[in-house]
Homo-oligomer: A and B are copies of this chain.
C-alpha cells in the first residue's frame, strides 16, 4: 500500500494540529455544529490553509472516525479467552472506564455519531464491530456454560459495560452537576468494580 510521498515536517505538524483541533470542536459541537473556520482557528491556521491539508470538513471528520474505531475496540479485543473470566471482564471494564477519563473527547465524538444514527460508520458497526462482539460473546457464553461466571446474556453484558463506562465521559456535565464538588471519577472505579463483580460472580455451589 503506497501512502504517497513522505510528509514534510510542516505537513506532519499541521495535520496533527488540525486533527487535534477538530477532535475538540467536533466532540463538543457535533458535526453540523462545528465550522471549518472554528477548527482552523483552534488549530492556529487560516481556513484556506486548513483546506490545503484536508479537502473538506467531512474528510477531517472521516479521518478522526477512521482512527477511532480501532482505538475504541482495542480493550474488547484484548479480552483473553484463556484468562480468568472474572479478571478478564473486570480488566475490560476498568480499561474502558480509564478511556472515559483519559479520552472523553473521543467518547463524545463516537456518541455523537451513534446518536445521529451512525450515518458514517454504520457499515463498520455491522461489519467489524458485530464480528468482534460475536467472537467475544461466544467466549463469554462459554464461560457461562462452564459455570465460571453467573448466567447472563453475553451481548447485553457487553452493552452494559459500554453504557456504564462511556456514561462517565458522555454525561460528565450531568454527573458533575449532581455530585457538586465530588469528582465523578473518585468513586467510579470502585463502583463499577463492585457492580460487575456482583453481577458476574457465580452463585456459591454446594
Residues of A within 8 A of B (CB): 28-33, 108, 111-112, 114-118, 122, 125-126, 129-130, 133, 150, 152-153, 155-160, 162-164, 166-168, 170-171, 173-175, 177-180, 184, 187-188, 190-191, 194-195, 198-199
Contacts and interface: CB of A to CB of B under 8 A. Distances in A.
Contacts of A153: 187, 190-191
Contacts of A29: 32, 116
A191 B153 CA distance: 7
A173 B30 contact: no
23 contacts: A28-B117, A29-B32, A33-B33, A111-B111, A114-B170, A115-B115, A118-B174, A118-B177, A125-B173, A125-B177, A125-B178, A129-B174, A129-B177, A130-B178, A130-B180, A133-B178, A153-B190, A159-B168, A160-B167, A163-B164, A163-B167, A195-B195, A198-B198
A152 B164 CA distance: 15
Contacts of A178: 125, 129-130, 133, 155, 158-159
Contacts of A162: 167, 171
Best-buried of A130, A175, A178, A191 by chain B (most CB within 10 Å): A178
The count of identical subunits is 2
A126 B181 CA distance: 11
Contacts of A114: 170-171, 173-174
A125 B155 CA distance: 32
A30 B28 contact: no
Given A160-B167, A199-B199, 15 more contacts: A30-B33, A31-B33, A112-B115, A114-B174, A118-B173, A129-B177, A150-B198, A155-B178, A155-B179, A158-B178, A159-B178, A162-B167, A162-B171, A164-B164, A195-B195
Best-buried of A114, A126, A130, A152 by chain B (most CB within 10 Å): A114
